[in-house]
Amino acid sequence: MTDYSLNEKMIIVQYGIKKYENEETLIQNLKSIFPEKDIQRCIDTLIGTQKVRRIGPEVIQNNESHTELPDIPDNLKPIIDSL
């Protein structure tokens, strides 16, 4: 596994949320990239900063009415495309 900064992890999680709104599906697909603990931490941070919102017990989505998705750095493009 590659070491990613917290900011890079949050970008990956945000784009993962865009593709998979179901939290369990998101976690399963991101486990190959970094540990579940890091995924959960990123989700909690994104919710706390209102970049992501929880809709019901299993569904999360980007809060695009408040913030735009960040630009994808070149080193993360292949990872995000492979989600």
Q: In this predicted model, what pLDDT tens digit does every residue of 58-72 receive, in sequence order?
A: 899 998 888 889 999
- pLDDT score for 57: 85
pLDDT digits (tens, 9 = 90+) for 21-44: 899 999 999 999 999 999 999 999
Q: For residue 50, give the DSSP letter.
A: T
What whole-number distance in Å separates Cα of residue 40 and Cα of residue 75?
A: 22
Rounded to whole angstroms, what are the CA distances from 34 to 1, 26, 41, 68?
Answer: 7, 12, 11, 24
Q: What structural domains does the chain harbor? A: 6-64 (1.10.10)
